[in-house]
């Protein structure tokens, strides 16, 4: 019985201690909350004090300045890192170009460089990619990975979208046609993708504008035509090439270049008669060995009458001879009106209206 009582007392004692502890803890917690609430009220009162508020703001400003400095340093480090990576990527392609220019066919180096270049193709500009394609052709390297082709075409689509410097497109098309793609490792979808992209590039050849060097333009077109005509490009598929592009490539030959200087005097005289009816004063002049049959002096306008054989078959794209004439006339501040025979209406009344509208567009 004594033992049972002792155990009961010990248990009751423990219970009382636990209850007291919890009560004490609760009291301490309440006191802490009251102190914190008092501190919050005191802080609010202090912040209303202009001196304290100014001190807080200064401290906050200093912290922001420190954070900004840290951000600037971090950004500089990131920029330096990326610049270092870009420089290394550029060095790789420069080394490949150096091997090509020095005619050094170091197979081990080439095998080491090419995977890096194709993997980082997104880092190169249009000129560099054209050089890379030329190196692929020079070293007779076959592209076997579909990922490499996809990256290449994706990057070129971005670089050639709405391109204005057309002189950069011609060497690109030529070197693209020269590369060798393995048909064993690449599916039909990839070939369709690259052929459709080629078709878009060929459209730039038809536009024939913004040409700085006509002789280079002629060289590239002829090289492209030879590759196309004799099927030297193994991956090209003609079903993806538009008919007007095919016509353009097939018609660009020596006979066209030789005869494009001929002027269609029947068409010219027809236009002259309409201009006389409209009371225009027409002069015929020679300038730098160029005969200009229709010159409207009072308006400083040269009228170029373009016949069917002054354009590439099936297109309104004028031949290089007329491109040269046009560039010279514009350089000398003449206004130039191109009248295409295939666009002139048949009825005389419609011809007069059409000619009036064309002249108005040039003069306004």
Summarised one tens digit per residue, pLDDT across range 184-207 is: 877 889 999 999 999 999 887 776
The two three-digit tokens of residue 33, written as one number? 């909350």
269 Cβ neighbours under 8 A, 6+ residues apart: none
Which residue is it, tokens 């009371």? 279
Q: List b or e across 106-120, with b for residues whose CB sees 16 or more CB atoms inside 10 angstroms.
A: eeeebeebbeebbeb
How far lies 59's CA from each of 27, 56, 69, 275, 349, in Å? 37, 5, 15, 83, 85
Instruction: Lowest mean pLDDT of 106-115, 140-149, 211-220, 221-230, name the range.
Output: 211-220
Task: Output the furthest CA–CA distance in the chain (Å, rounded).
Answer: 143
DSSP string across 223-235: HHHHHHHTT--SS
What's the pLDDT score for residue 18?
39
The two three-digit tokens of residue 21, written as one number? 């502890």
* pLDDT, tens digit (0-9, with 9 covering 90-100), for 62-92: 666 666 666 666 666 655 545 555 778 889 9
Among residues 314, 318, 276, the alpha carbon closest in space to that of 294 is found at: 276
Long-range CB pairs of 260-267, under 8 A, 24+ apart, other chains included? 260/309, 260/310, 260/319, 260/320, 260/321, 260/322, 261/321, 262/309, 262/310, 263/291, 263/293, 263/305, 263/307, 264/305, 264/307, 264/309, 264/310, 264/341, 265/293, 267/305, 267/307, 267/341
- 160 versus 44: the higher-pLDDT residue is 160
Look up the CATH number of domain 261-363.
Answer: 3.40.960.10
pTM: 0.53
Percent of the chain surpassing pLDDT 90: 38
Using 50, 70 and 90 to split pLDDT, how confident is the model at 24? very low
CB 182 within 8 A of CB 142: yes
Among residues 156, 96, 94, the alpha carbon closest in space to that of 125 is found at: 156
The pLDDT of residue 323 is above 60:
yes
Q: How far apart are CA 354 and CA 157, in angstroms?
A: 39
Domain boundaries, the chain: 25-100, 105-252, 261-363
Q: How far apart are CA 1 and CA 228, in angstroms?
A: 116
Which residue is it, tokens 């027409």? 282
Mean per-residue pLDDT over the chain, rounded: 77
CB 152 within 8 A of CB 123: no
């Amino acid at each position: 019985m004594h033992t049972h009582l002792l155990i009961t007392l010990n248990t009751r004692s423990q219970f009382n201690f636990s209850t007291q502890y919890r009560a004490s803890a609760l009291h301490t917690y309440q006191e802490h909350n009251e102190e914190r609430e008092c501190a919050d009220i005191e802080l609010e009162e202090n912040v209303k004090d202009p001196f304290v508020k100014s001190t807080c703001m200064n401290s906050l400003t200093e912290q922001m300045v420190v954070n900004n400095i840290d951000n600037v340093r971090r950004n500089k480090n990131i920029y330096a890192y990326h610049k270092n990576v870009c420089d290394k990527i550029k060095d790789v392609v420069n080394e490949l170009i150096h091997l090509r220019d020095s005619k050094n066919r170091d197979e081990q180096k080439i095998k080491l460089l090419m995977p890096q270049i194709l993997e980082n193709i997104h880092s190169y500009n249009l000129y560099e990619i054209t050089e890379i394609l030329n190196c692929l052709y020079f070293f007779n390297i076959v592209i076997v990975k579909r990922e490499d082709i996809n990256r290449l075409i994706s990057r070129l689509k971005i670089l050639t979208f709405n391109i204005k410097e057309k002189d950069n497109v011609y060497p690109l098309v030529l070197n693209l046609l020269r590369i060798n793609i393995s048909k064993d490792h690449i599916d039909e979808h990839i070939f369709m993708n690259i052929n459709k992209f080629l078709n878009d590039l060929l459209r730039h050849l038809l536009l024939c504008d913004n040409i700085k060097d006509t002789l280079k333009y002629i060289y590239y077109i002829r090289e492209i035509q030879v590759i196309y005509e004799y099927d030297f490009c193994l991956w090209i598929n003609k079903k993806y090439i538009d008919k007007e592009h095919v016509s353009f490539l097939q018609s660009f030959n020596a006979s066209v270049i030789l005869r494009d200087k001929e002027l269609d005097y029947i068409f010219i005289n027809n236009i002259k008669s309409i201009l006389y009816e409209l009371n225009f004063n027409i002069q015929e002049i020679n300038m730098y060995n160029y005969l200009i049959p229709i010159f409207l002096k009072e308006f400083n306008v040269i009228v170029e009458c373009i016949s069917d054989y002054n354009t590439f078959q099936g297109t309104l794209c004028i031949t290089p001879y007329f491109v040269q004439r046009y560039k010279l006339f514009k350089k000398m501040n003449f206004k130039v009106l191109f009248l295409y025979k295939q666009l002139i209406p048949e009825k005389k009344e419609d011809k007069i209206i059409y000619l009036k509208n064309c002249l108005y567009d040039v003069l306004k």
